[in-house]
Amino acid sequence: MYDIALQCYRSAAASYRSAVAREEDVLTLSNLGDVLVQSGTCLYGVARALRNADPDLAAAAIGSQMAAEVAAAPSEWAAAREVEAQSDFMAGMSSYEAACSMCDSSQGDDLPGLLCNWGSALRSLAGCLQVRKHCRVPLAASTAVAASPPLSLLGPRCKTWPPGTSGVPTGSRGFFRPGRSRAAV
């Protein structure tokens, strides 16, 4: 079933890329990021399932997916899917970054929704990294830099924080301000 899901994700990604090639817009870039993260998550899930499966069953499953002359060992096949997943995740993060850089709430763009989707994508990536400690692909090092965009992407209000604050929200009423109690915020 994963192959059908992956075909759907690949088809959707191709459609979004085609639309972005004609004209970049926040919603299309965000949707492209979403579908690439789903694809990456799917690929990691399949690789994990294959690594956890009985070796004979894993080899049989791979053999049914590939011609006998090009069938790879299950661990090689899983590693190749992880490389594909890494590529999808990195492209998804780049898509979210591009969408954030173009986002303009005064034009009706949904920055909170975009940031929520990006955060969910990072959580999905973290989940994949957590279960692949034993794998060969060094994704964590490349992701740490790429997945931490500058605050300037969040707009002029978030470029700098007042001195003495961390910029951490304290609730729905805004950011903690020095010299004021948390109750007053």
Residues of the chain with pLDDT under 70: 63-72, 131-185
Determine phi and psi for 7, rounding to 5 degrees. Answer: -60, -40
pLDDT for position 184: 43
User: What does the pLDDT look like over 68-106, one tens digit per residue?
Assistant: 434 567 888 888 899 999 999 999 999 999 999 999 989
pLDDT for position 63: 66
Note the pTM of the prediction, 2 decimals: 0.67
Q: Say if residues 104 and 110 touch (Cβ distance below 8 Å).
A: no
pLDDT for position 178: 43
- Contacts (Cβ under 8 Å, ≥6 apart) of 94: 146
pLDDT for position 160: 42
C-alpha 107/C-alpha 19 separation (Å) is: 20
pLDDT for position 55: 75
Residue 94: other Cβ atoms inside 10 A: 15
pLDDT for position 57: 78
∠ CA 69-70-72, nearest 5°, is 120
pLDDT for position 157: 42
pLDDT for position 82: 92
What is the SS3 assignment for 108? coil
Residue 171: other Cβ atoms inside 10 A: 9
**What's the token pair of residue 15?**
């459609």
pLDDT for position 74: 80
